[in-house]
Chains A and B, each alone.
Chain A
Amino acid sequence: MSYSALANIVFAVGRTGSNGVELLLGTATLLNSPGKFVTAAHVTNKDDQNLVVVLRPYNSIDDYQDTSDSQVQVIPVRIEAIDPFTDLCILAADIDVSSNLSIGSTNILNVGSVVDIFGYPHADHGRLVLTHQRTEIGARILIKNGIVKTKHVVLNTQARPGQSGSPIFSAYTTTVVAILIGSYAPGGGGGILLGGVDPHTLHQTTHAVSVEYIMEML
């Protein structure tokens, strides 16, 4: 399968201000349902005021993405459904466009399965480059959140801010199996920042939640 069309399916999420898009927050994916996107709940900070998905002028992921071109188009979105326990969120826009992606689950993955990740790493620095990573599943895990435990996978790759909300595809397919939410950090990290980076997150243990949970949110 060719991933070139993902340039029109995987977008950055941002917040606008008086000067246009002032903050880039993460990644969102257009679903097979008109105007609906999936992202990680924390990307939105649970607030949809001035929330937008950001469009770049590329038709293919193989195009050269001009890193000096800051011209973007935006589509206003609202939070339609949000679950802080799975950290999943459905955004809705008043557009009649959908994708051909199917929704799977981490149940179809085994340790060692190859997966593809698409997102906007370093978006916190204003970098808006749709980037592909290929990696393997390191483990299938349950993560506790209050009284709830949900299914996740460990991705054997390093991720950076801006990649939260990134779709994880079962390799070579159009099936999304998980959504990237962050990296392992004892106690949730955030203790020390060096150059804006938490040293606890500088490793290859990245967490992604099974996307199956969005089925009940749509």
Chain B
Amino acid sequence: MENKLEQLFQVDNEEWLTTLPRYQQIRIKELVDSTNSYEEAAKQWLNAMPENTFPFGGVEQARNIFIEKVRDEIEKFLSGDEKYADEHKQLLSSSEILQKTLVSSVSAAIAPVIGTAAAYILPVVVLVFMTMTKIADQPIVIAGQTSNAVLLSESDWASVQETLYLLSVPGMRESIREGLTTPIEECDRELQW
């Protein structure tokens, strides 16, 4: 994902919700609060149907939209897949990209591919982005039968690598600690290289 887009995920999850129209914000918040899962909330949105009611619409077979398909298309869009090359390029050419711009651009681009309307898929895109932000926020423990694994964001991984490198330099740890305890007035005003 481009840096310009990556930065959009350095936000509080609640910010994604504000990109939705008010009526969808309320509905999605209710779903997230009750399911405690962004993915489950997205599934409930996609499968919603009044109980015990036979719809009297026309002859079209009701279409099922799966969260996995939505997620796949979002990933293709974000990675600049050629299917979405034009929309991706257009988005990146904007001087400022806001969360709302990203949500609308992705929804409008993937809706016809999935066979649905942008207004309908909008909350699902937001919930997928909230999942991605959550992953970026904190490591996820993947439980195995004999041992566990940890999934963490690329930026966190880079940060860990940087720390390990600095600590591998002899005397670096002590130098940093000494620096942290040195009063500001004792610091040199001019660097002596």
> Are A and B genuine complex partners?
yes
Q: Which of A1-25 contact B (CB under 8 A)?
A: 13-15, 23-25
A129 within 8 A of B: no
Q: Which of B35-53 contact A (CB under 8 A)?
A: 35, 44-45, 47-53
Closest to B22 in A: A216
Also in contact, A49 and B44, with CB within 8 A (given A40-B55, A189-B54, A198-B54): no
Q: Mark B28-70, 1 if CB is under 8 A from A, else 0.
A: 0011001100000000110111111111111110110100000
Measured CB to CB, the closest approach of chain A to B169, in angstroms, equals 55
- Bound Cα distance A103, B73 (Å): 38
- Bound Cα distance A16, B1 (Å): 38
How large, as a class, is the contact surface on chain A?
Answer: 35 or more
A162 within 8 A of B: yes
- Bound Cα distance A159, B51 (Å): 18
| CB-based contact B56/A164 at 8 Å | yes
| CB-based contact B56/A46 at 8 Å | no
Measured CB to CB, the closest approach of chain A to B17, in angstroms, equals 15
Pairs A–B under 8 Å by Cβ, sample size 13: A24-B59, A49-B112, A79-B119, A85-B27, A143-B53, A145-B50, A161-B57, A164-B55, A187-B52, A188-B51, A188-B54, A216-B26, A217-B21
Name A's B-contacting residues (CB within 8 A).
13-15, 23-26, 40, 42-49, 78-85, 87, 123-124, 143-148, 150, 152, 159-165, 180-190, 198, 200-201, 207, 209, 216-217
